Chains A and B, each alone.
Chain A
Amino acid sequence: MSELVLGAVAYDAKVVTIWEGFKAYFNAHGLAFDFVLYSNYERQVAAHLRGDIDVAWNSPLAWVDTRRAAPDRAKAIAMRDTDRDLTSVVLVRADGAAASAGRIETVADLRRVAVGALDSPQATLIPLLALAEAGVGRGVEAVCHDVLVGKHGDHIGGERDAVKALLAGTVDAACVIDGNRLAFAREGLFAPGQLRVLLQTGPYDHCNFTVLAETPATDVLRELLLAMSYDDPAVRPLLDMEGLTRWLPGRTSGYALLERAVGETEPGRGVPAPFTRAR
């Protein structure tokens, strides 16, 4: 069995620590494994399609890109328990204050919406789709917070900046993952009761391990992942760093919302109608 090479995107310095840890674990369990880090998902997807890597740790958007490029071959073999059934929320100020005139009572009152990175499924693409389907007006501005574009919003900073803009009163609303709303509250970014949820998206799935061909090595990888136990002292720090308590088999039913959000356009190249991108 030849060495299995995984691709991952270096959205943060801790990515090196994470994959060095997994590499040591896999090697110790008999899987010849190495990894390559890319600076953005577009480059990783291209490398995967070229055959440079055997498996990609993909963002949901990178999964959609891969699936569209290789619909008959792309398979999601595993994902985190925390990758399933996320939702995003659109936050507004609880006092109804709008960035310009008027008050924010419903989606129709929105004029400027803060989102994450332009290519973030969770903080931009999916919530903007939800707003569009909920009847947001034409020409509403989407104000992007482009922390690390190409990383598909993996870095939490874009969402934090969106909430800061809402608190500063320069936008009417901010889009974040449901769990990040709690995380920001715990950080003290806003006070309880200061913001309210205007809209919640439907559930969607996040990252997965994508392969274009299942091989004995990718089978072993999946088996080793699914066997990792949070009770194992050697494993727990890795799982904590990667933000999960157990690996689950991959599923692709959770990407329907994102597929719709991306539509027929080239992914990540603009905000969907009826929004305009604020300059």
Chain B
Amino acid sequence: MIDLGDLGLDEGAHLLIKRALARDGRATVSGTSPSLAIDVPAWCRARGHAIEAVSGGFAITAGPDRWRGAERAGGDVPVADPPPRWGLAARGALVEIGAPELDLPLAIWADEAARLYSQAAAAQWDPATAIPWDAPIDHPDEVEDAVVQVMTYLIENETAALLVPVRFLGRLHPHFREVMQLLAIQAADEARHIEVFTRRARLRRRELGLSTASGQASLATLFDEPDFAIASFLLAVLGEGSFLALLWFLRDHGPDACTREVARLAAQDDARHVAFGLAHLAHQLAREPALRDRLVAAIERRHAALAHTAGLNEEVFDALVLLAAGGWEPAALRRGHAAVIALVREMDDGRRLRLGRLGFVRDDAARLSALHTRNFM
């Protein structure tokens, strides 16, 4: 016998009844709430519980158990192929049968995702305070124009780096919670990069620089990839990998403290994006060796698609030279030019290194790196 005292079903008494029914499948209930004799039958009727008036109260027998047939949505570690019926349930939750099936078919995983997400969460920086926006800008006007051109190019590329993974994020099965979180925080990283590059470009100029057809053509091919592994390979491993070298270049050669700092902070974030791309591909290649051939085919396909374009636009190349030179003196230009040539080599070295880490032998890595878009991303 459960004595509800004067607690009414309109103020929480049903919890005591539910608890008893869950434990024993039946309960005898009594109480002094004025509406108890109205509320208990009404409450039971709505839930399919059988009820009978007995001396001093009601005898209740539990109706259908809503949790019969419920299914645990995996555990600590994700399963390879979570069913659509788990829907939005938290991994490890007990899922009632009959929930709607969501069309979230993508299974994306890397064991490093949780660690990278924690790092990313801890490394978020505030554009308002992290960048020395008031640092002096005393380089020549045309060097400032070069900075604006490079920033314009960076914004365009970071926009692709935001939108391409997000398209997959929207179709990712939420069972892969850590990957979902990581892709979300990567998108936030890119949003911040777009903000600081835009703000840096407009510190001294009202208008942004040039956007070329070939640059956009290169980025557009990233949107054609329906397979996350391949998109991630092209964007994160090869593209953002190359971009890391570019951001380090700007960190080292930027003509003002603000440019150097936005590049340094963006590189810090992009390094995590590259690390996730590598980790995911390593995970995927271990399970699906044939993926390697598809990755090769994807680089070759993209190269063929872009063969007719100019690659890196001359405006960006020249802007990088002038930016690194810091002025028009021939000796400075020679230095700047040499630095950009070294940058291109460094990008190639980085790509070959990362391809090697994915198990490509040296000659293949060199050949594939050479096929990467001349637009860097």
Contact with B along A128-151 (1 / 0, CB 8 A): 000000000000000000000000
Q: Which residues of chain B from 5 to 53 have any CB-CB distance to chain A below 8 Å in the complex?
A: 8-11, 34-35, 38-39, 41-43, 45-48
Name the A residues within 8 Å of B63 (CB-CB).
245
Contact yes or no, B69 A231, CB < 8 A: yes
Contact yes or no, B97 A233, CB < 8 A: yes
Q: Which residues of chain A from 235 to 279 have any CB-CB distance to chain B below 8 Å in the complex?
A: 236-237, 240, 243-246
Contact yes or no, B10 A233, CB < 8 A: no
- Bound together, the chains give a CA A240 to CA B99 distance in angstroms of 12
Given A200-B38, A245-B63: A179 touches B43 (CB 8 Å cut-off):
yes
Given A233-B98, A246-B64: A82 touches B38 (CB 8 Å cut-off):
no
Closest to A184 in B: B10
Contacts between chains A and B (CB distance < 8 A), count:
72
Minimum distance in angstroms from A181 CB to a CB of chain B = 7
Does A213 sit within 8 A of B, measured CB to CB?
no
Name the A residues within 8 Å of B43 (CB-CB).
179, 182
Contact yes or no, A231 B68, CB < 8 A: yes
Minimum distance in angstroms from B67 CB to a CB of chain A = 10
Does A230 sit within 8 A of B, measured CB to CB?
yes
Name the B residues within 8 Å of A197 (CB-CB).
34-35, 38
Closest to B46 in A: A179
Contact yes or no, A230 B64, CB < 8 A: yes
Does A86 sit within 8 A of B, measured CB to CB?
yes
Q: Contact check: which of B42, B48, B69, B98 meets A81 at CB < 8 Å?
A: B48
Name the B residues within 8 Å of A240 (CB-CB).
98
Q: Contact check: which of A89, A192, A233, A246 meets B38 at CB < 8 Å?
A: A89
- Bound together, the chains give a CA A237 to CA B48 distance in angstroms of 15
- Bound together, the chains give a CA A178 to CA B34 distance in angstroms of 14
Does A85 sit within 8 A of B, measured CB to CB?
yes
- Bound together, the chains give a CA A268 to CA B8 distance in angstroms of 35
Contact yes or no, B45 A85, CB < 8 A: yes
Q: Which residues of chain B from 91 to 107 have any CB-CB distance to chain A below 8 Å in the complex?
A: 97-98
Contact yes or no, A236 B98, CB < 8 A: yes
Minimum distance in angstroms from A217 CB to a CB of chain B = 28
Q: Which residues of chain B from 56 to 86 have any CB-CB distance to chain A below 8 Å in the complex?
A: 63-64, 66, 68-69, 85
Minimum distance in angstroms from B213 CB to a CB of chain A = 49
Contact yes or no, A182 B9, CB < 8 A: yes
Does A234 sit within 8 A of B, measured CB to CB?
yes
Contact yes or no, B97 A236, CB < 8 A: yes
Given A197-B34, A237-B98: A179 touches B64 (CB 8 Å cut-off):
no
Does A87 sit within 8 A of B, measured CB to CB?
yes
Name the A residues within 8 Å of B38 (CB-CB).
87, 89, 178, 181, 197, 200
- Bound together, the chains give a CA A216 to CA B42 distance in angstroms of 35
Minimum distance in angstroms from A167 CB to a CB of chain B = 14
Q: Contact check: which of B11, B39, B47, B85 meets A245 at CB < 8 Å?
A: B47
- Bound together, the chains give a CA A179 to CA B68 distance in angstroms of 25
- Bound together, the chains give a CA A234 to CA B344 distance in angstroms of 59
- Bound together, the chains give a CA A25 to CA B11 distance in angstroms of 39
Most buried by A among B10, B41, B64, B66: B10
Does A23 sit within 8 A of B, measured CB to CB?
no
- Bound together, the chains give a CA A279 to CA B81 distance in angstroms of 63
- Bound together, the chains give a CA A193 to CA B8 distance in angstroms of 9
Interface, chain B (partner A; CB < 8 A): 8-11, 34-35, 38-39, 41-43, 45-48, 63-64, 66, 68-69, 85, 97-98
